[in-house]
Amino acid sequence: MTATGVGSTEPARSAGTGFAGAGARTRATLRQELIGLGGIVERNIYLTKRYLLWDLAFMVWTIANTLTIVFIARAVNVPPAQENELATKLLVGAVIWAFLGIIFEFVTETVAWERWEGTIEYTFMAPLSRPTHLFGMGAYAVLYGLIRATILFFAVAAFIGIHIPNANFGAALALLGIASFSFIGIGMMTSVLPLISPEKGAQLGFVAQGMMLVVSGVYYPVSVMPGWMQAIAKISPATYALRGDRASIVDGAGLAWADVWPLLVIAVVAIPVGLAIFRAGERYAKKHGKLKRSG
Amino acid sequence: MSTLVAPNSPGLSVRRDVPAVEVKGLRKEFRRRDKRAGRFARRRMPALADVTFTIERGECVAILGQNGSGKSTLVRLLSTLLINDGGEARIFGHDAFRESRAIRKLVNRVSVEASFFKKMSASENLSYAARFYGMPPSQTRRAIPEILEKVGFPADRRTEAMENLSRGMQQKVALARALLTSPVLLLLDEPTTGLDPRSKLEVQEFIKDVRVTHDATILLCTHDMAEAESLADRVGLLDRGELLFLEPVEDVKARYGVDTLEQAFFAATGRAFEEEANEDDEYREVFG
């Protein structure tokens, strides 16, 4: 076998032989995957720039929507201190809903978006591993979602006049960061839906997002739900993200291991399962000719 | 093209002792609704039926066929976007269905649709596409303007959104995207369909230029017989999923005792090339 370069332009890169060669190949592959991951983030930055006005409008809508929820605290006849605490808890719920919504939208629409733009075939025939592809989408979603969540939180808190002198924002952000891994893992599972059903898949992803938040106590304690819903809440990462972030913002609590370890366990399970489901969905789409643009 | 930079392709090797493309008994079927047989009934419809051919390294082969003949199905199978139902396909010795990662490093494609993020510019689209092939910004900063210049794309429009470019311009960017990664196998799926005559000629000239200056093997799927005749070393005819022949144009004409490829198509199929596609052909066109 004779090795030659890709195209006519360069000789093949000799990766060496033996253990040293294997190490060099691993490093080169890793480098290529990191460049690919950077490409996904880069593309999303370009798109955010191009759709900036749309993003601005969406931000205004999200702030208005969050205000409609947080104003409920003003309507409840309780002492001011309790009203402030209720408003803060509702705000944390709304912000996490918005954050989770962004992650699900980005990861779930990995397929739907590219199908609509017509680039899906080029992305899926590129030599980029699927985990890198999906993590790239997830990484940008977390970055973008955190920026939006921060703006949303402070804009609404300022508008309503919430007092949170003890808030531990560092711990709240760190917990959200840890929770992101589980959210991405679950997002990977739902991102397969548009691959299998081009017409209805994206909507089913939103259904999954809604179901997760309903059982996680987004605006109420988990304890008010029926027993079977409380059981499901135990395996939802949003439950621990909401509980921990509320404790950090309202009471100034630090990172609690009781919230961190379930998130880590869910991430360790959800990511490989999400990848496996996506791979199976991709195989199905390739078998049945569904990996195509829609327009 | 000699100034183009190849992508980082760790461990990638291209064998010289094997054909560029080796397809044996390749089969692909799709299931479609059969309303006559019942509400939920489906029937299998062959998109490719036992297709066998070989393309040597450096060759340019054109596959002719009407809409729904299976051309795009063939291109999608070779570019790892479909999984076969039978037979095999090897690209430079790599199994197209079991070694898809290796294949993806060797192959790139230009299809009839431009397929870009419409709000992004030509440079941005090429830039992120190149990252998928391991090309870092330090490489693409130089390579993208070079390849765009090579395909005749005006420098002052590099930052303009793709949605503002003509079809011809978009197709030049599509060619640039395919060549930026220096593929050893270039799959061209109706690259000039829908282009105005001038753009069509420019794209065809560029393909000829690629053949001279680039060590790429080309599989061109088209329904333009003149294009096939002018660009390809050998011409094949795919009709309703079956490859009827694949040989030099003169041999095709001699085989059927005719003067043109249109006449050869009629002699081989009993139909005129322009004849409208039937319902099954249209289904193959949509799903293949």
Q: Which residue has the tokens 């961190």?
A: A260
Name the helix (H) or strand (E) containing B251.
Answer: helix B249-256
Cβ neighbours of residue B167 closer than 8 Å, sequence gap 6 or more: B114, B194, B195, B196, B199
Residue A23 lies in a domain: no
Residue A24 lies in a domain: no
* B244 in a structural domain: yes
Distance from CA of B198 to the nearest CA of A (A): 25
Q: Which residues of A touch B118 (CB under 8 A)?
A: 117
Note whether residue B4 is domain-resident. no
User: Which candidate, B47, B129, B116, places its Cα nearest to that of B83?
Assistant: B47
pTM for the predicted model, two decimal places: 0.84
Radius of gyration of chain A (CA): 22
First to last CA, chain A: 43
Cβ–Cβ below 8 Å for B11 and A286: no
Q: Is residue A5 part of a domain?
A: no
Whether the CB of B109 is below 8 Å from some CB of chain A: the reply is yes
Does residue A293 fall inside a structural domain?
A: no
Task: Report the distance separating Cα A217 and Cα A224, nearest Å.
Answer: 9
Say if A65 falls within a structural domain: yes
Quick one: tokens of B98? 């079991």
Q: Is B139's pLDDT higher than 50?
A: yes
Is there a domain that residue B143 lies in? no
User: Quick count: other Cβ atoms within 10 Å of Cβ A266?
Assistant: 22
What pLDDT, on the 0 to 100 scale, is given for residue B182? 85
From the CA of B29, how many Å to the nearest CA of chain A? 9
Domain around A277: 41-288
Place of tokens 């109706």: B190
- Pairwise CB contact (< 8 Å): A117 & B80: no
CB-based contact B104 A42, cutoff 8 Å? no
Per the DSSP assignment, residues forming a β-bridge with B42 are B33
Q: Does B8 touch chain A (CB under 8 A)?
A: yes
Is B43 contained in some domain?
yes
- The minimum CA-CA distance between A130 and chain B, rounded to whole Å, is 11
Size of interface A-B (CB pairs under 8 A): 175
- Average pLDDT in the A229-256 region? 94
B241 pLDDT above the threshold of 80 = yes
Distance CA A246, CA A259 (A): 11
A282: in domain: yes
CB-CB under 8 Å, A46 with B1: no
CA distance B187 to B39: 39
Quick: pLDDT tens for B179-226: 898 889 999 999 888 888 888 888 888 888 888 777 789 999 998 899
Listed by number, the residues of chain B in 181-210 with a beta carbon closer than 8 Å to a beta carbon of chain A are 181-184
Q: Is residue B94 part of a domain?
A: yes
Each residue of A43-92: pLDDT tens digit? Answer: 999 999 999 999 999 999 999 999 999 999 989 888 989 999 999 999 99
Q: Distance (Å) from the C-alpha of residue A107 to the closest C-alpha of chain B?
A: 17
Residue A52 burial (CB count, 10 A): 10
**A31, A32, A137: best to mutate for the B interface, most B CBs within 10 A:** A32
> pLDDT grade, residue A14 (50/70/90)?
very low
Q: How far apart, in whole angstroms, are the C-alpha atoms of residue B152 and residue B173?
A: 9
Residue range A96-145, pLDDT digits in tens: 989 988 888 888 777 888 888 889 999 999 999 999 999 999 999 999 99
User: Into how many domains does chain A fold?
Assistant: 1
Element (H or E) spanning B122, and its range? helix B122-131
Residue A10 has pLDDT above 60, yes or no: no
H-only helix segments in chain A: 18-50, 52-70, 72-75, 80-117, 120-124, 130-160, 169-191, 193-196, 201-215, 227-233, 237-251, 257-288
Q: Which residue has the tokens 């790239």?
A: A136
> Could you give the number of structural domains in chain B?
1
In a domain, B106, yes or no: yes
CB contact under 8 A, B130 and A127: no
* Residue A140 Cα, gap to closest chain B Cα (Å): 14
Nearest by Cα to B102 from B91, B112, B111 = B91
Q: What is the dihedral of CA B194, B199, B200, B204, to 10 degrees?
A: -140
CATH of the domain at B213: 3.40.50.300
B140: in domain: no
Q: Which domain holds residue B69?
A: 21-113+183-287
